[in-house]
Structure 1
Amino acid sequence: MAVFGSWFGREVDQDHVYSINGFWTVLLFAVCSVGSFALRYITTPISCWCPAQFTSSMISYTEKSCFLKDMYHNNSISDNYDDEIPSVPSFHLWIPLILFFQALAFKVPNITWNSCKHLLTLNMEETVESLKSVQLTSPENRQAIFSDAARVFGSLLRRNRFFLALLYLFVKLLLCINLIAQFMFLTTYFRQYLAIRVGSYADFDVDSIIKPLLVKDIYCHFQIHFLQNTQIFSVQCTLQITEIYEKMFIFLWYWVFLLAIITILNLVLWAGFLFLPFLRDGRIAAHVNASKGARPNEPAVTRFISSFLGIDGVFVLSMISRNSSELVAADLTQHLYQVFQEKEREWQNQRNLYTGETEGGAVVTGATGTIAALPIRTLPPCAENPEKAPTM
């Protein structure tokens, strides 16, 4: 069930747009694929006008034989059967497979994200999942867990600065590319069923280069061998299943069109939130300012975001806020800010140790545990340290 949920369920490291693309749209196309295959057996997919002398078994054979063909004709046969007859293809037999590959194309970005995110040191899924349960613990345990999580999280951010966020944006870009390709495919091959006329007003004949995947009214030619005679028949048929396929692809066209607009806007917003400081810093600063005590200055918050959190830190905090709660994200941000202040104080002590001057002969202990002794020239000239004679 865990594997099934990771492939087809919404995970805690995804936003809603990502979930619509990777789960609900895949489910929609999969249902359409299975439904289009089942329609062959629960409906009458084709209806043919047969000669009066045909028995019921001959009519059944004619309809089934004509339905399984993939090449039809626009007119009846001529007097000479050997003459070349114009034919048109129909892909009604391949519609379930086409829909299956469309569903698989929507799943490829999700597979890419689930495969590559584990290569990085920071496991964002486990981080978000573990912090979701913190809200149910006592306040003492809550603060202890947040303190430990902030220190572990801060150490991991030193190795991951922007790779996780860039991977997520790359997956978002794959979603947009897939949607644009799906939209172009549906527009090209199912344009005749839509209320659009692209290129018709620009002196460009689109219909001359577009061949529809489905046909409706056709002529089916077949031969029947009876004893040593071969009799040729040409019956007019209507692919009734095409009517259902038309309505299905019209719905899918509008679904992909609206989803493409939403996904492209979502990609732009995520990129702006992660890379533009005026969109990124405000939310983190609000979480830091919500803590008790003195209000931190803006330069300190800016250093906290740029030099400590990085793009990956902002990304993970945003995912925690979206999938857990704003309170959990604010608490973790405040503890991360405390860790940042400790690191800054340690760095300042080290800087004073190696560049500053000591006062009054004091011995300064650095953050690394080393002791900075005063140079010999600073000692008074009369300060001697006579050796004590050993006692017997």
Structure 2
Amino acid sequence: MIKMAVFRAWFGSGLDQDYDDSINGWTVLLFAVCSVGSFALRYITTPISCWCPAQFEGSMISYTQESCFQKDMYNSQPVFDNYEDETKPPSVPSFHLWIPLILFLQTLAFKVPNIIWNSSKHLLTVNMDETFESLKSVQLTDPENRQAIFSDAARVFGSLLRRNRFVLALLYLFVKILSCVNLLAQFMFLTIYFRQYLAIRVGSYAGLDMDSIIKPLLVKDIYCDFQIVGISTHIFTVPCTLPITKIYEKMFIFLWYWVFLLAVITILNLVLWAGFLFLPFLRDGRIAAHINAAKGSRPDETAVTRFISSFLGIDGVLLLSMISRNSSELVAANLTQHLYQVFQEKEEEFQIQRDLYGEEPGSDAIETGKKQEL
């Protein structure tokens, strides 16, 4: 159970997240698997193949290929002794040894928004995972206990929502923005280094000098220099190919398509969430539908608007939406109805106190104080 909890904490999503957060959580697992797999490829495949002189024996061939594979700088052409420094062909770098680390850093970049959300949300509201889990299982209890649980939960939510009006929603949208920034940055990285023809085409349209930006991250055909020390030192230059580069390229092309699709989904998801939370004509209808489903009668639109603006707040709309996504619409409707009852009780109390103190001096100050409490 502990292992499953740790696995879900790192690679899954909580009960207070939507489908887009779930996809981003599984993307962490995808990149982690690619990171481990790219490291294992060195040992389960032949990462490099070099053409060696005929006099080389088995151990010498193994040494040649291993020493060449460990190099991070290669020659794109054979280097002869008659080359001068000015005419000597430049060395080309290859980052095939760093691919597991690069993928690991990409994995961490996908995890950062989730870490920020999980470490900050508890400072602003209740433990949403435990609360949502309790509300999710409340449907299995008998009707009497169910209504009591919903009533208690509504009063707890009501007291907490009076302190946090929109901070939690802003945090959630900020995390969404971080995910979008991460996806766009990773998409640019994968395009520049693994879809270079596309980057060159787009850069030329934008008037950019892509030759100074785009550098090959991996090489396929190289010349490797190494020396063998004996009675005299012999320097050999052998041509080599790196078959592992083709595997890496195919893996990164797949990740390029994955990140592209995920970026489109995440940006659309951010726009929809921002619209739902801050545009009244989108959020009010959903809350009214929940109250209507639970009460069996259509509530007053003015009362619903006042219920959202003065009682629920943006944070309450976010919490109810998360409950409906991760539990059920019935649970969200029942909780909304009980929250609406708490709101009506508060309004009735306010009305009674206003009638009681309405004729006395200083009633305006009392009324202002009551409005602030609501």
TM-score, normalising length from structure 2?
Answer: 0.91
Between 156-165 and 97-106, report the one with greater CA deviation: 156-165
Query: 1:333 and 2:347 equivalent?
Result: no
- Higher alpha-carbon Rg: 1
Change (3 A) 1:209 1:293: closer
CA gap 1:201/1:176 in 2 versus in 1, 3 angstroms: closer
Question: Which of residues 268, 271, 278 is equivalent to 1:268?
Answer: 271
Residue 6 of structure 1, aligned match among 2, 6, 9: 9
Identity of aligned residues (%): 81
The AA in structure 1 aligned to 2:321 is S
The equivalent of 1:95 in structure 2 is 99
For the residues of structure 2 that align with 1:181 and 1:254, how far apart are their CA atoms?
A: 14
Give the residue type in structure 1 aligned to 2:75: H
Unaligned regions of 5+ residues in structure 2, if any?
361-365, 367-374
Paired AA for residue 67 in structure 2 = S
1:142 aligns to 2:146 (yes or no): yes
Matched to 1:170, the amino acid is: F
Structure-1-length-normalised TM-score: 0.87
In the other structure, the counterpart of 1:177 is 181
State the alpha-carbon separation in 2 of the partners of residues 173 and 311 from structure 1: 18
Distance 1:121 1:204, change over 3 A: closer
The answer to which of 23-32 and 198-207 deviates more is 198-207
Distance 1:153 1:191 in 2: 50
Q: Which residue of 1 aligns with 2:79?
A: 77
Match of 1:226 among 230, 236, 242: 230
1:60 aligns with 2:100: no
Q: Is the 8 A contact 1:122 1:160 kept in 2?
A: no
Q: Secondary structure at the match of 1:44?
A: coil
Question: Are positions 1:295 and 2:291 aligned together?
Answer: no
Contact 1:194 1:250 (8 Å CA) reproduced:
no
1:189 aligns with 2:193: yes
Bigger shift: residues 7-16 or 34-43:
7-16
* Compared CA separation, residues 243 and 296, structure 1 to 2 (3 A): same
Which residue is 1:120 aligned to? 124
Range 204-213 or range 190-199, more displaced: 190-199
Two-structure CA RMSD over aligned residues (Å): 1.9
Counterpart CA distance in 2 for 1:340 and 1:261 is 39
Q: Verify the 8 A CA contact 2:191 2:199 in the aligned structure 1.
A: no
Q: Which residue of 2 aligns with 1:167?
A: 171
What one-letter code is carried by the residue in structure 2 that aligns with 1:41?
Answer: Y
For the residues of structure 2 that align with 1:302 and 1:356, how far apart are their CA atoms? 29
Shift of 1:56: 1.6
Aligned to 1:43: 45
SS of the aligned residue for 1:199 comes to: helix
The alignment status of 1:245 with 2:254, answered yes or no, reads no
Name the SS for the 2:236 alignment partner: strand
Question: Which one of 18, 24, 39 corresponds to residue 26 of structure 2?
Answer: 24
2:350 is matched with 347
SS at match of 2:225: strand
Report Cα offsets for 1:320-375 as digits up to 9, x if no partner: 00000000000111111111111101001111111159xxxxxxxx9xxxxxxxxx
SS of the residue corresponding to residue 219 of structure 1 reads: strand
**How far does residue 54 in structure 1 lie from its aligned partner after superposition?**
1.3
Give 1:59 deviation, angstroms: 1.1
Quick check: 2:12–2:26 contact (8 Å CA) kept in 1? no
Residue type of the alignment partner of 2:323 = I
